[in-house]
């Protein structure tokens, strides 16, 4: 670049300082940028308001039951232990599934959870429950 070209570029830059964006060109020999029209339809695009979360939130899973949590009564625990003893005497496999068939009002997870409790094991003499 020659010295005269540098002087010409410098004078062009000085003349653009302080002028509005409409009169300032887009650079050397380029037309000025087109103004943005805010009324233009965006071809069906919708943008969330500025307060919207950027990550979608998960909807909660539907509940199977809406009432209070069912508690085990002492009679049910005794019946569960008796059924378990009977199934162990038969050398049954899948004791949890067999117990679930005998106690259809209780979920399989509830039966497994009850049998895992140390209090249940201590009272009913179970040292290991699979």
pTM of the model: 0.47
More confident residue, 129 or 55: 55
The mean pLDDT of the chain is 73
Q: pLDDT (tens digit, 9 = 90+) per residue, 51-75?
A: 655 666 677 776 666 667 789 999 9
Q: What percent of the chain has pLDDT over 70?
A: 51
**49 to each of 26, 43, 54, how far by Cα in Å?**
32, 18, 10
Q: pLDDT (tens digit, 9 = 90+) per residue, 93-124?
A: 899 999 999 999 999 999 999 999 998 988 87
pLDDT of residue 98: 95
């Amino acid at each position: 670049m020659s010295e005269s070209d540098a002087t010409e570029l410098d004078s062009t830059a000085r003349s653009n300082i302080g002028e509005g964006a409409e009169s300032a060109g887009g650079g050397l020999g380029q037309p000025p940028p087109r103004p943005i029209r805010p009324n233009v339809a965006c071809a069906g695009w919708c943008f969330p308001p500025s307060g919207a979360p950027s990550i979608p939130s998960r909807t909660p899973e539907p509940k199977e039951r809406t009432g209070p949590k069912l508690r085990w009564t002492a009679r049910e625990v005794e019946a569960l232990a008796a059924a378990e003893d009977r199934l162990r005497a038969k050398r049954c496999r899948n004791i949890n599934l067999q117990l679930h068939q005998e106690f259809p009002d209780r979920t399989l997870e509830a039966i497994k959870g009850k049998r895992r409790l140390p209090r249940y094991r201590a009272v009913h003499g179970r040292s290991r429950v699979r």
